[in-house]
Structure 1
């Protein structure tokens, strides 16, 4: 802006300059000389202004610092003047508030250090400066925990060997990586030593190695903090679980196997029985064989019925007298009932005895547990809980055997009773039908006698 203004002024001066003075030089040369001179003067002026500006800035900064210092001194002097005018009670109030603030800060320090793992006895022996230093160390430790930071340490592997490995701790979870042995996994503190609780496969080992080398990667995380692994290791197979029950498991298992075989046999037996044809009167027998005779047993062929129903029909058809027929029908029904209900009692006995055997095994196991507690004391809870768990295995197994046995016994007994009731109804129909036939024969003979006598 200044150059433009000076250039305009020189142009005006050059045009207003007398023409007689331009005899020595041309107007263009004069103009260039004037511009150069003006430019030099401008540069000198700008340099002078910059120097003055720097000096003024330094002076202003020094004055501002003096003002701040004077303000602080004024505040101190004003506080001193106020304290001179304060009463003794006001001074005591201020001192009390300062002491409360001091106690509050100390309590915050102690609480933070206690949560960080320090012992209360050791905190009482530390000075305030040492507490502040420990807080700073904890703050630095937590800051380092925000990024993957591997440290060298020793890890006790699952086979009992001690391995030098890199460890990474993020909160309550610790990973370990052994570059030499190509082993990695999750570790936890056990008995004061860092022990492995699970191992990784090759893919997860490569991910952890990438995290250790490149500071970024994907790693396996156990949100249960090892509880899932511990539960998986503590879980037993079905055979191992049953063996824990001891000697009383043997009769329970035998009862269960026998009941299962009998139930399978009874299911096959009842399923293979032919269906009982419902017959409620002699007319129904006519409909079975399609006969037009008046409801006689002879109207039905031997092939009309099957199985137990055929045996009843055969007895009723070939019986000579009604008394003989009824006795044979009753005897056949009793045989069929015995055949239908055979072995059902074994399943019922199993359903009743299996829980008692389980309870007996539990009582024996509890007695053994209390005997161990008497001999070795009750200081170890694992011994007590393990003994009780083993003692309850027999009760569990007894109920597992008894409940299905009870259900199977009820179903099979109901099916057998239903089939027997149908056979019994058919036998009653046979008996009543034979009585009607006998009565008709008697009437027919009486009529024939009357006709012959007349």
Structure 2
């Protein structure tokens, strides 16, 4: 057999092997129902391709050259992988030797450092104010197999820095989120791990991202110290040793306006009636003070009677009476004139007294409605969460307090009005009786 014929036979066997391999691969990927059809189709294609290669000697040579190129590339990749494997084996051997050289002491040191570093990171994490800066916490050494010198130095340096920050007041520029969620870089002061604040707001670590967040409400007892300490004008500051528990309790204390709002509609009515009573009472009291001044001036000048005061009007009416009447008739007319002035002096007193009596009753009404709200919450949600009952209890207590606070000043106002009007009444009655007595004495004949 000639050499070209052997070559063609070799190519034919090679292509038949490729056909068999290709057919097996395609048979595995196809489903069981179409296995035979796929194999026959593959054999037909490969047979057609082989016949094409046999007919075209140049295409056959090209396919063989491509196969050789791919083989060389695979061989090079294999050699590269063997080289990499050898390098990794040398590195593992070197690490084992270094670990053996360190001995048990350094191995125990690495274990202790890894444990303490993890404990510190877990304890501080994103809740402590000491870990605001990036890289403030010691690195994790859990995955380190051989302790390096720079790792030991890094752990020691960061622990020393954390210890120093616990007793230091520092001024920093960090992102801060306000109550509306807007984040901006602001200058702040950090006092160790106890407090961080701007010029007018206390700060805390956020729960989600660990960034600084301004407290919704800064306690009044601390708010006055922030600006002075921030500007360097004072070295006095309140520190919460409980890491925020006391500050949170102080921040939750309602202000005077918030307590007033807890009273609900009954509280609004009580306060409105109290303000109305105070306005009426103070207006009447000012009127009585003015009348008292005019009456006092009138008593000092009885010869010049003026109608701008009750005493002057009573005496002017007495002068216009018929003096020839009996003393009993004159006294009755004079009493009538005095009684005519009393309504102006005693006006507003019944209203103030009524409001002073109504205020505690309205407070009691608010107490009852608040307890009703509380029992409704208990009926729906049970007693597991006290916060669900806090609203009704607050309303019950606040309305009672508002009723008492409203009634007490109104009682004082009513007492002051009553005392001032009673004083003026006594002055007018006494001066009128004295005038009547003087008149009767001047017109009574002397007895020998």
TM-score computed with the length of structure 2 as normaliser: 0.48
TM-score computed with the length of structure 1 as normaliser: 0.48
Q: Which structure has the larger Rg over C-alpha atoms? A: 1
